[in-house]
Every structure is written in C-alpha cells, then in structure tokens.
Structure 1
C-alpha cells in the first residue's frame, strides 16, 4: 500500500536527515521541494519569509 509522509523543515535539516532515512527504507522514492509556508493564527494570516 502506498504511503506518503511529509516533513517540513529547513533544507539543512532535511539534508542531514537523508542518511538516516536511507537506513530506515528498504526501497522507495523521496521528493524534495521548496515550499512557501503560510501560517494562520487566530484567524489572521501571517506570511513567513522562510522558504522551507
């Protein structure tokens, strides 16, 4: 059964995690994409400048 897991963090943290992930997976695909993060708090939108 296919499974999708999403992790959102800074690029350097994702890169550091890849060797660990490789040891956990017997096979599979990893996609890495940039994301613009929009945060809603108390019904107000706060646009972050970080691109993760």
Structure 2
C-alpha cells in the first residue's frame, strides 16, 4: 500500500495536510457566501435609497 512505504514524518504530514485543505476549502466557500450577501445588501440599499 502507498502509505505503508512512507516514513513516519511523511505520514504525519499527509494526516495534517488533508484536514487543513478541507478547512481552507470550506472557509473560502463561507467567505464567498458572505461576500455575495454583502453585495446583495449593498445593491438593496441603493435601490431603497432611490425609492425614497
């Protein structure tokens, strides 16, 4: 098996890199959602100002 041939240090790096990549992915998705929400609120504010 692939992992059986790796040194202990390499196995630890693999075990740490996988969760870190997952956290980076989900945090970037969260940031993009918040940015999209901010843009929508900004646009809504502009429309509300025009209607007054």
TM-score, normalised to structure 2, is 0.25
TM-score, normalised to structure 1, is 0.25
Query: Looking at CA atoms only, which structure, 1 or 2, has the larger radius of gyration?
Result: 2
Richer in strand (by share):
1
Richer in helix (by share):
2
